[in-house]
Chains A and B, each alone.
Chain A
Amino acid sequence: QKEVEQNSGPLSVPEGAIASLNCTYSDRVSQSFFWYRQYSGKSPELIMSIYSNGDKEDGRFTAQLNKASQYVSLLIRDSQPSDSATYLCAGTGANSKLTFGKGITLSVRP
């Protein structure tokens, strides 16, 4: 099993819909989890971080962590065309090394 796995995508949703991005992880990256957004040609920008089981909300974004299922997700409510980007799921293990999933490209249709 790869350490961090994301759905291959791409994902397309209409404007105003909820976009659901999912990620699974192995035991080696089970400490902390991060969702980064990356626009084409730009560097990754942190959207959300989550360390404990449950939900964490910040504006239109909700991160969910389920350690029993080794599953982390990002929900984007009221999706906007400006949310169109690649979303990278990442986790850290005991050595603090950040391991990325391969990313999923989200397209929000006006």
Chain B
Amino acid sequence: DTEVTQTPKHLVMGMTNKKSLKCEQHMGHRAMYWYKQKAKKPPELMFVYSYEKLSINESVPSRFSPECPNSSLLNLHLHALQPEDSALYLCASRIAGTVQETQYFGPGTRLLVL
């Protein structure tokens, strides 16, 4: 089973709201990723967690705050977002053994910031 789940599927929030996106996998993968995807663009890497430690932050604004409470769960906390942050947010995971491993993507959360 190669399933990554994400909740919620859709989210509408105002610029003063605080919300969180959740990602979960039970495949024993130890690397988890957050991507942002705008329409007609490829996914853009935001954060990488490896063995529950933040290993890559692609210079993402601090209004996005990732958290990895355990090896199965990844959160993205959102605060004071801007309308241009509206996008599809994708979570992905992989085993974290070799560079040949596939990243498996979750279904995404469609975020609209008003």
Q: Do A and B bind each other?
A: yes
Extra contacts, 11 of them, besides A43-B88, A44-B105 (Cβ < 8 A), are: A31-B99, A32-B99, A43-B108, A45-B105, A88-B43, A96-B94, A96-B101, A100-B43, A102-B41, A103-B40, A103-B42
Assuming A88-B42, A97-B48, A103-B42, is B106 touching A43 (CB within 8 A)?
Answer: yes
Give A contacts to B, CB under 8 Å.
31-32, 34, 36, 41-46, 49, 51, 88, 92-98, 100-103
Q: Which residue of A lies closest to B33 (CB)?
A: A98
Question: Which residues of chain B are near A96, meaning CB under 8 Å?
Answer: 31, 94, 96, 99, 101
B90 located at the interface, meaning its Cβ lies under 8 Å from any Cβ of chain A in the complex: yes
Closest 6 CB pairs of A and B: A100-B42, A31-B99, A43-B105, A32-B100, A43-B108, A96-B99
Assuming A43-B90, A97-B45, is B105 touching A51 (CB within 8 A)?
Answer: no
Q: Name the residue in B45, B92, B100 with the highest tally of chain A Cβ atoms < 10 Å from its Cβ.
A: B100
Query: Closest CB of chain A to B27's CB: distance in Å?
Result: 14
Q: Which residue of B lies closest to A42 (CB)?
A: B107
Among A45, A93, A101, A102, the residue within 8 A (CB) of B99 is A93
Question: Which residues of chain A are near B108, meaning CB under 8 Å?
Answer: 42-43
Decide: B104 and A46 in contact? CB cutoff 8 A: yes
B102 located at the interface, meaning its Cβ lies under 8 Å from any Cβ of chain A in the complex: yes
